[in-house]
């Protein structure tokens, strides 16, 4: 399909169905072709569609090009009829000519999703957020006759405060993640059940973390609420609201399951290390509990991705390559993320070494990315490029260690100077005892 995007020609592989003289293209709401069509609904958006095939033996080529006006069709009756016609199986164009469609993949992976959902429910340990909150430490704020928050009330270190806020805001952004996976997984059958169950469990995390932080006065609750509003308003998808360059939407089932395999593992590690950084038994237990949930989420996504690598290795590799080459942490859209990320990296909660050793490599090993021999063509080249990426991440770890070392040395010298200055400024009052 050829259309105009920002005054330039854009070409996207699409699927099509012919219905009553009209060509029906089924697409995700966020796909470029759909966004373009919607934004031009009040004017005419000229589009062209080409289908072709090449016979290498006879050395013949045929192609058909049609042009017409594009428009969104949101008529529910017609949509159901199109779905029943299964128009997504008629994928054409570019490398997608031989690719399985998302609908085929979802159907093929549905029994796996059902098995993993049942395994998840059997392994899940029930817990209640209120059991992890020291309610008797709480008191009213000014609006109810008490005292508002002041920095001196926090018992957490600076690193623990930043890590807690970052983790909570990541959990707060649940509506964006729900939207992301619901759009790629669908809402029916085991896939839909997983989306809903996962959403309910994730919601518990933000409830528990916010209650803990507000009751213990660990951080400013007003700033926390403002950050939550800003974060959820920003959304999540890299690429959304120009948060990152390029076309980084998760546009397929594999994009989503592979991204969240890494994301869930990253949050598991981050919650666990944050719990330790808090130096408070209750916070440590709460974050260990949340971390255990994240682990169960991670193994669902990791294992369904693994099944995806078995049935469609090349398509799974394309998604893996896209995800890792453009990886952004789920907290990427948190206001002031870069500064916060540096603080928790220096504080040892989440740094480049942890990302590579505890998040990236375990998944690559589990999927046997560097051992398997079923990647072909472009996918095989992408696997080789992932080898280079791992080397680049190693270099980034070494660079980070070096700058962290220098930073800590600078801090130590500064602390020494402050102590020396204090001693000098109090010399007159010192008394020495002689024996």
Shortest Å, Cβ 264 to Fe ion: 5
45 or 202: CB nearest Fe ion:
202
Interactions with Fe ion, residue window 138-197 (CB under 5 A): 171
251 or 263: CB nearest Fe ion:
263
33 or 224: CB nearest Fe ion:
224
What lies within 8 Å, CB to CB, of 23 at 6+ separation is: 16, 17, 49, 66, 68
User: Stretches 51-59, 212-220, 222-230, 263-271: which one binds Fe ion (CB under 5 A)?
Assistant: 263-271
Shortest Å, Cβ 171 to Fe ion: 5
Size of the site for Fe ion (CB under 5 A): 6
Shortest Å, Cβ 366 to Fe ion: 17
Q: Is residue 297 part of the contact set for Fe ion (CB under 5 A)? A: yes
Best CA proximity match to 208, nearest among 291, 294, 288, 129: 129
User: Stretches 143-151, 258-266, 321-329, 343-351: which one binds Fe ion (CB under 5 A)?
Assistant: 258-266
User: Stretches 134-142, 203-211, 229-237, 349-357: which one binds Fe ion (CB under 5 A)?
Assistant: 203-211
CA distance 416 to 385: 46
Cβ-closest position to Fe ion = 297
Q: Is residue 351 part of the contact set for Fe ion (CB under 5 A)? A: no
User: Stretches 44-52, 261-269, 273-281, 404-412: which one binds Fe ion (CB under 5 A)?
Assistant: 261-269
User: Stretches 22-30, 143-151, 256-264, 309-317: which one binds Fe ion (CB under 5 A)?
Assistant: 256-264
Tell me the C-alpha to C-alpha distance, in Å, between residue 288 and each of 127, 170, 268: 12, 17, 9
Buried b (16+ CB within 10 A) or exposed e, 227-249: bbeebbebbbbbbbeeeeeeebb
Shortest Å, Cβ 198 to Fe ion: 7
CA distance 235 to 180: 10
Q: Is residue 211 part of the contact set for Fe ion (CB under 5 A)? A: no
3 or 262: CB nearest Fe ion:
262
Phi, psi of 165 (to 5 degrees): -65, -45
> Which of 45, 102, 172, 294 touches Fe ion (CB under 5 A)?
294
Q: Are 11 and 247 in contact (CB under 8 A)?
A: no
Q: Is residue 202 part of the contact set for Fe ion (CB under 5 A)? A: yes
Q: Is residue 205 part of the contact set for Fe ion (CB under 5 A)? A: yes
What lies within 8 Å, CB to CB, of 40 at 6+ separation is: 70
> HSE (CB half, 13 Å, CA atoms) of 426?
9
Q: Sign (positive/negative) of CA torsion 305, 308, 313, 315?
A: negative
CA distance 19 to 65: 17
Q: What angle do CA 399, 239, 295 make, to 5 degrees?
A: 65
Q: Is residue 280 part of the contact set for Fe ion (CB under 5 A)? A: no
DSSP state at residue 328: -
Q: Which residues bind Fe ion (CB under 5 A)?
A: 171, 202, 205, 264, 294, 297
């Amino acid at each position: 399909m050829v259309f105009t995007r920002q005054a330039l020609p854009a070409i996207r592989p699409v699927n099509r169905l012919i219905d009553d003289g009209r060509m029906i293209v089924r697409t995700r709401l966020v796909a470029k072709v759909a966004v373009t069509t919607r934004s031009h609904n009040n004017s005419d958006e000229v589009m062209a569609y080409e289908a072709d095939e090449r016979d290498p033996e006879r050395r013949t080529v045929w192609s058909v090009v049609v042009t017409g006006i594009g428009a969104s069709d949101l008529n529910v009756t017609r949509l159901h009829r199109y779905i029943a016609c299964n128009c997504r199986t008629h994928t054409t164009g570019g490398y997608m000519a031989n690719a399985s469609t998302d609908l085929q993949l979802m159907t093929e992976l549905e029994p796996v999703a059902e098995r993993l959902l049942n395994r998840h429910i059997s392994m899940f340990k029930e817990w209640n957020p209120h059991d992890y909150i020291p309610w008797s430490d709480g008191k009213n704020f000014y609006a109810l006759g008490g005292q508002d928050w002041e920095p001196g009330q926090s018992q957490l270190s600076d690193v623990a405060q930043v890590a807690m806020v970052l983790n909570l805001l990541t959990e707060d952004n649940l509506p964006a993640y729900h939207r992301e996976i619901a759009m790629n997984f669908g809402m029916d059958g085991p896939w839909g059940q997983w989306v809903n169950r996962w959403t309910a469990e994730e919601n518990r995390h933000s409830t528990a973390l916010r209650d803990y932080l507000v009751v213990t006065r660990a951080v400013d609750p007003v700033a926390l609420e403002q950050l939550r509003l800003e974060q959820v308003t920003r959304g999540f998808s890299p690429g959304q609201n120009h948060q990152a360059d390029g076309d980084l939407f998760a546009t397929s089932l594999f994009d989503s399951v592979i991204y969240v395999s890494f994301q869930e593992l990253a949050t598991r590690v981050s919650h666990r290390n944050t719990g330790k950084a808090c130096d408070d038994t209750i916070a440590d237990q709460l974050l260990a509990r949340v971390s255990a949930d994240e682990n169960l989420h991670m193994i669902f996504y990791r294992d369904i991705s693994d099944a995806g690598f078995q049935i469609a290795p090349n398509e799974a590799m394309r998604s893996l390559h896209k995800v890792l080459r453009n990886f952004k942490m789920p907290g990427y859209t948190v206001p002031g993320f870069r500064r916060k990320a540096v603080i928790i990296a220096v504080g040892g909660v989440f740094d480049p070494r942890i990302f590579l050793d505890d998040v990236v490599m375990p998944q690559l090993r589990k999927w046997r990315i560097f051992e398997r021999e079923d990647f072909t063509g472009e996918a095989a080249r992408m696997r080789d490029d992932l080898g280079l990426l791992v080397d680049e991440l190693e270099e980034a770890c070494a660079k980070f260690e070096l700058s962290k070392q220098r930073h800590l040395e600078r801090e130590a010298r500064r602390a020494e100077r402050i102590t020396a200055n204090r001693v000098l400024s109090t010399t007159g009052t010192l008394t020495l005892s002689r024996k």
